[in-house]
Structure 1
Amino acid sequence: MKLVDEAEIQVSAGNGGNGCVGFRREKYIPLGGPDGGDGGAGGSVWLEADENLNTLVDFRHQRRFRAQRGEDGRGRQMYGKGGEDTVITVPVGTVVVNVETDEVIGDMITHGERLLVAQGGKGGLGNMHFKTSVNRAPRKALPGLPGEERELKLELKLLADVGLLGFPNAGKSTLIRAVSAATPKVADYPFTTLYPNLGVVSVEKYRSFVIADIPGLIEGAADGAGLGAQFLRHLQRTRLLLHLVDVAPMEGGVEMSPADQVRAIERELEKHDPELLAKPRWLVFNKSDLLPEDEREKLVQDIVDELGWQDRWFLASAIGREGTWPIMLEIMAFFDRQKADAQEAASEAAAQARADADAARRDAEQG
């Protein structure tokens, strides 16, 4: 699934309705007092996260959103009707930034979550509020206040469990095609992937995870070079990184050795966000079919030793689907362990909280 991950929109809340100057006029009451009602509040603009959306492409066609104005007040102390709010749906994972101040207004990470981005104007007061002992027929009313207007930048960060990273043409798109139903474009030239792609890997019924393929990184990506810089942020939400390495670089057009490829990507990750480098990351040495079968293990072990790599690594051929499924099973087991550890930690915390509460109650009874 392709996605557009940035958009700028303008939002305008509704103005408040004006207060009314009115006087009570009934038979036998020729000099009735002021009864002008207040204006209604203007509608506000809200963003709402929707897990069924995965792109900001709709905002290419509509960039301006306006909420309804509040109605003016009327006589007989009748308040104006408030303007209707405007609700804009955005994908889960959308970060909202105020363009003028560059301030992050909100981060929409939960389905159904709402964020107020433009407050409607308050309705003006009618003249019934200005009656005093010396001015029993005030002809004063207040106009409604204007609604807020903002220019917003929407940035979509993928909510994926696994992020694929590596140099262009390392085989990321081929891998995601091999293990999921996603069908990103695959070709033998760099920068085939121009947009992030998501794929769902189903290990068995009710057990699956989401994998994200982002455009390949090049040296200087963290500083804006190539296509990778704007997509590095997608990796920040992932739980595991799969670092694909072209194990036969001369065949793939990459002039770096496999070990140098790994080091170059690590530099870009650290430069962009040191926390990315601290995430769990496994190496996948891809295109093993281009190596002599009896030499593959030794060649890759030499690379691992050169790197001093201590974490998990795999040898695979994504195009031939060799060794890809065992990797997916390992990932699922890794997430299962994470879930079990989290549940155990939560149980221990709950037990400790109950013990602390019991101890506090006994202290209070003894005191």
Structure 2
Amino acid sequence: MKFVDEAYIDISAGDGGAGCVSFRHEKYKEFGGPNGGDGGRGGHVYAVADINLNTLVDFRFSRRHDAQRGEHGMGSDMFGAAGADITLKMPVGTIISDAETGEVLFELLVPGEVITIAKGGDGGFGNMRFKSAINRAPRQKTPGWPGEKRELKLELKVLADVGLLGMPNAGKSTFITAVSNARPRIADYPFTTLHPNLGVVRVGPEQSFVVADLPGLIEGAAEGAGLGHQFLRHLQRTRLLLHIVDIAPFDEGVDTVKQAKAIVNELKKYDPNLYAKPRWLVLNKVDMLPVEEREAIIKDFIKRYKFKGPVFQISALTREGCEPLIKEIYKHVKAQQQAEQPHVEVDPRFTGEEPPANP
């Protein structure tokens, strides 16, 4: 399925039905009184976060979404039926904003979450609503209220704990294949990854985290060069960035330190908050280095790069060093998850503990 992470849609909730002017007509009931019912409300437009979706492609080809209008009121005290609601299924992580102003209206962050993105109009009043002691035969009615109409922009930012970034052919897809259930396309040429891939990494029973593999970045990505700039937004919700570097490039003339610094500069240009996220350095393809030269090459890289954070040496192909890295990632993600949980004061009466005595 084609990966689409941006779409524009027009939605329209149903208008309310009009009220009715009617009077009771029965044999031997000369002055039966008003019995015109109210109109039905228009249908609402809902959005639901569907965990089974990972793209907005359905909305790229179906832009217009209209809910049903409410039925008009009728005589004999009959109210109009409410219009049918419509529910739009969207991937978890979708941001819904106003297409004209750019204001963020809603975010779907929880699987199964349902929000109302457009309310249907209320039905109009029939003449039975206007009956009073001094107005025994009202002929007033009101039309239905219009439903909300909106032009919306949908933007998908995948929900992942860890994001992978690096140059094309750095081994990101091989890494996510080695440690998770994801099976992205892998080949010996750059830009084999054309859209984000998510993988669940199992550390133990009920212990896991989600990794996002993005297309490789190149210098100038923040200004639109290459493919990776289109998907940098998907890193904004991650808790940790893994900067994967090919420590043993085929081209001997490649300066790996310069490439690594270029990637970090692109992050800083694109979003300072993204640049400030925790970032670990992962030196990949160490199995391609001569054993007797491996330690010296890695020390030289770290010295020239001047990286102060955690550094890991792995081979995604042979899975050397992957297990310790996974365990450290899980510890970091778990600690951040606990830190993000709000502290809630619990009444001791509900925990079985005795409350402290008053001084």
Structural mapping, 1:88-99, within 5 Å: 88-99=88-99
CA change 1:341–1:114 in 2 (3 A) is closer
The TM-score with structure 1 as length reference comes to 0.87
Name the CA distance, whole Å, in 1 between partners of 2:339 and 2:115.
Answer: 32
Which residue identity is paired with 2:207?
R
Which residue identity is paired with 1:230?
Q
Instruction: Classify the secondary structure of the residue corresponding to 1:237.
Output: coil
- Choose 29-38 or 194-203, whichever is displaced more: 29-38
Aligned with residue 264 of structure 1, among 248, 262, 265: 262
Deviations 1:68-109 (A, max 9, x none): 211111112222121121111211111112213222111111
Structural mapping, 1:200-279, within 5 Å: 200-249=200-249, 251=250, 257-279=255-277
CA change 1:35–1:185 in 2 (3 A) is same
Name the CA distance, whole Å, in 2 between partners of 1:192 and 1:224.
Answer: 18
- Contact kept in structure 2, 1:2 and 1:197, CA below 8 Å: no
- Contact kept in structure 2, 1:181 and 1:199, CA below 8 Å: yes
- Contact kept in structure 1, 2:239 and 2:336, CA below 8 Å: no
Name the CA distance, whole Å, in 1 between partners of 2:174 and 2:138.
Answer: 77
2:189 corresponds to 1:189 = yes
Name the CA distance, whole Å, in 2 between partners of 1:169 and 1:198.
Answer: 18
Name the CA distance, whole Å, in 1 between partners of 2:333 and 2:156.
Answer: 24
- Contact kept in structure 2, 1:96 and 1:105, CA below 8 Å: yes
- Choose 220-229 or 10-19, whichever is displaced more: 220-229
Residue in structure 1 matched with residue 290 of structure 2 by the alignment: 292
5+ residue gaps, structure 2, are 348-354
Which residue identity is paired with 1:37?
G
Residue in structure 1 matched with residue 30 of structure 2 by the alignment: 30
Residue in structure 1 matched with residue 279 of structure 2 by the alignment: 281
Residue in structure 2 matched with residue 155 of structure 1 by the alignment: 155
Which residue identity is paired with 1:236?
Q
- Contact kept in structure 2, 1:42 and 1:84, CA below 8 Å: yes
CA change 1:207–1:133 in 2 (3 A) is closer
Deviations 1:283-324 (A, max 9, x none): 111222332221122212222122221211112222233222
- Choose 206-215 or 224-233, whichever is displaced more: 224-233
Which residue identity is paired with 1:31?
F
Deviation at 1:342, TM superposition (A): 6.3
Deviation at 1:62, TM superposition (A): 3.2
CA change 1:252–1:326 in 2 (3 A) is farther
Residue in structure 1 matched with residue 325 of structure 2 by the alignment: 327
Structural mapping, 1:155-174, within 5 Å: 155-174=155-174
Residue in structure 2 matched with residue 310 of structure 1 by the alignment: 308
Name the CA distance, whole Å, in 1 between partners of 2:74 and 2:334.
Answer: 63
Instruction: Classify the secondary structure of the residue corresponding to 1:275.
Output: helix
Instruction: Classify the secondary structure of the residue corresponding to 2:292.
Output: coil
Name the CA distance, whole Å, in 1 between partners of 2:189 and 2:333.
Answer: 33
CA change 1:264–1:165 in 2 (3 A) is same
Instruction: Classify the secondary structure of the residue corresponding to 1:295.
Output: helix
Give the percent of matched residue pairs that are identical in Structure 1 and Structure 2.
Answer: 57
Name the CA distance, whole Å, in 1 between partners of 2:131 and 2:220.
Answer: 69
Instruction: Classify the secondary structure of the residue corresponding to 2:47.
Output: strand
Deviation at 1:329, TM superposition (A): 2.1
Name the CA distance, whole Å, in 2 between partners of 1:340 and 1:102.
Answer: 32
Name the CA distance, whole Å, in 2 between partners of 1:305 and 1:280.
Answer: 20
2:4 corresponds to 1:4 = yes
Deviation at 1:270, TM superposition (A): 1.5
Name the CA distance, whole Å, in 2 between partners of 1:312 and 1:77.
Answer: 74
Name the CA distance, whole Å, in 2 between partners of 1:68 and 1:341.
Answer: 45
Residue in structure 2 matched with residue 142 of structure 1 by the alignment: 142
Deviation at 1:47, TM superposition (A): 0.4
Deviation at 1:145, TM superposition (A): 2.3
- Contact kept in structure 1, 2:43 and 2:86, CA below 8 Å: yes
Deviation at 1:159, TM superposition (A): 0.8
CA change 1:240–1:139 in 2 (3 A) is same
- Choose 63-72 or 13-22, whichever is displaced more: 63-72
- Choose 319-328 or 13-22, whichever is displaced more: 319-328
CA change 1:291–1:143 in 2 (3 A) is same
How many residue pairs end up in the alignment? Answer: 354
CA change 1:116–1:256 in 2 (3 A) is farther
5+ residue gaps, structure 1, are 352-357
- Contact kept in structure 1, 2:240 and 2:333, CA below 8 Å: no
Instruction: Classify the secondary structure of the residue corresponding to 1:294.
Output: helix
- Contact kept in structure 2, 1:164 and 1:241, CA below 8 Å: yes
- Contact kept in structure 2, 1:20 and 1:39, CA below 8 Å: yes
- Choose 325-334 or 192-201, whichever is displaced more: 325-334
Residue in structure 2 matched with residue 109 of structure 1 by the alignment: 109
- Contact kept in structure 1, 2:121 and 2:146, CA below 8 Å: yes
Name the CA distance, whole Å, in 2 between partners of 1:316 and 1:43.
Answer: 56
The TM-score with structure 2 as length reference comes to 0.89
- Contact kept in structure 1, 2:247 and 2:284, CA below 8 Å: yes
Instruction: Classify the secondary structure of the residue corresponding to 1:153.
Output: strand
Name the CA distance, whole Å, in 1 between partners of 2:340 and 2:6.
Answer: 33
Deviations 1:316-349 (A, max 9, x none): 2222332223211221233344456668x948x7
- Contact kept in structure 2, 1:246 and 1:252, CA below 8 Å: no
